[in-house]
Amino acid sequence: MSKIHYTQYVTDSIDSIDLEELLSQLQDFFLQSGFPSQNGSIGSHDQNLPNLYQALADILIENEEIPQDRHESLEKYSRQFPHNELEGTTKELLDQLVERLIDHDYLLPSEESWGKPSLEGEGNESEAKKDVWFELTEKSIDLLGYKMFRELLGSVGGNSFGLHNTQKLSTGIQSDAYSRPYEFGDTLNLDVGSTLLRALEREGLEGPLNLEYEDLMVYQTDYQSSCATVLMLDCSHSMVLYGEDRFTPAKKVALALAYLTRTQFTNDSMHVVLFHDSAEEIPLAKLPSVKVGPYHTNTCEGLRLSREILTRQKQDMRQIIMITDGKPSAIKLPNGKIYKNPFGLDPMILQETFKEVSNCYKNGVSINTFMVARDNYLMDFVMKLSQICRGKAYFTNTLDLGNYLFMDFMNNKTKTVY
């Protein structure tokens, strides 16, 4: 009779890794915006396979479930990167992890042949894979937006989310506002007490009480509206200079705001516009991979494009949320050329920019500016912009940017801030 030996099943250390948590740890790798590295170079952290290996190795070093021999190999690889080659077992471990991220629709490789055997005969597979780039999928962007939204929500404080409150009154759910006579088209949210009281005042206490049309009283509530939003992001070179990366926090806030719009304000719309020497609208899926460049700041063109986008929307409220750290230093001339002046506040650039701000105001588009710099002449420019469009201005930093922006977006007040 044959004997059967039973042993305890030990899971693979890779299988025990939470992919959602891993993706959260990789967010800085995928969202980095071209911030200079220690050696002064920009864009040295492209999302290719070797750099992804290095980012995963740094994360796995902190994982206590990784076997000791692999742990030492990962430490050696990370310490000597990029001048070190991966050992066989360590490379296999990282490849399995990348495969899991791809299989679970968190990463999208640039090559369709990723993971398939080569049809070219003999060759160096690792050399071919070095040219593979990775992007975040819609699923992973949504997950990161949710994570960032939760982080920002925790810092802002508990809030009850619904639709955007305004200063107008409507009829619907009961509120603390006074009730008023019913008008045709109102929601019949009847104030029974006030309705009966009006009937009693008209007919008295004798006989049966007859209700007339003019007796009807309905509750008033805050009028809640839909909103179309354009998030304008400054991706000029100054957003990553002077020892601080200001663009990556702005991208994180944008992803969180997109998640909030999609899940809580389902009737809203959100668009993303980048402005630099010129301006262009990008799909949200491309936002994580956007980097700053050697650009100037064409605020006027960004506002013009945002205004054109918003005038096509059907929502009641239309707003531009602009995140910037610098003065306008470029405009588009009538002949299509870009006029640039990075020195001081150019009168011609200011005139064209303020003219576009005025156009936004005339078209019912509000502008809320978040300035992540504190230079006096920049603050004067933003305050002047806010006065023209009756908008709001916030002077903040990268740490408080999300708090200010979310509180403004959720409150959506209409008062003028100078």
Taking each helix axis from N to C end, the angle separating 401-411 and 247-263, rounded to the nearest 10 degrees, works out to 30
Find the CATH number of the domain harbouring 401: 3.40.50.410
What one-character DSSP code corresponds to residue 114?
T
For residues 186 and 246, membership in a common domain is answered with no
Residue 314, classified by CB atoms within 10 Å of its CB into exposed (0-12), middle (13-18) or buried (19+), is exposed
- Are residues 208 and 247 located together in one domain of the fold? no
Looking at the fold, whether 364 and 403 belong to one and the same domain comes out as yes
What is the tally of structural domains in the chain? 3
> From CA 297, how far away is CA 329, in angstroms rounded?
5
Q: For the packed helices 88-103 and 49-61, what is the interaxial angle rounded to 10 degrees?
A: 100
Q: 332 and 209 share a domain? A: no
**pLDDT the model gives residue 89:** 77
Together in a domain, 356 and 263: yes
325 and 393, same structural domain?
A: yes
Q: Residue 235: which domain range?
A: 226-411
Query: Is the same domain home to 185 and 243?
Result: no
Q: Is residue 147 part of a domain?
A: no
- The answer to whether residue 157 is domain-embedded is no
Identify which of 194, 174, 235 has the alpha carbon closest to the alpha carbon of residue 33.
Answer: 235
Residue 50 falls inside a structural domain: yes
Report yes or no on 244 lying in a domain: yes
pLDDT given at position 395 = 73
At 65, give phi and psi (nearest 5°).
-80, -10
Per the CB < 8 A criterion, the answer to whether 113 and 260 are in contact is no
Q: Specify if 8 maps to a domain.
A: no
Sign of CA dihedral 60, 66, 70, 73: positive
User: 169 and 263 share a domain?
Assistant: no
Same domain, yes or no: 245 and 216: no
Domain's final residue, options 182, 202, 223: 223
The reply to whether 288 falls in a domain is: yes
| 3-class secondary structure, 55 | helix
196 lies in the same domain as 133: no
Q: Is residue 214 part of a domain?
A: yes
Is residue 101 located within the same domain as residue 216?
no
List average pLDDT for each run of 10 residues in the chain, which is 418 residues long: 51 72 84 56 62 86 76 79 73 86 88 54 50 83 79 49 48 59 78 86 80 83 74 86 77 83 82 93 87 87 96 88 86 93 88 94 89 76 86 71 61 38
213 and 240: one domain? Answer: no
- Per the CB < 8 A criterion, the answer to whether 329 and 296 are in contact is yes
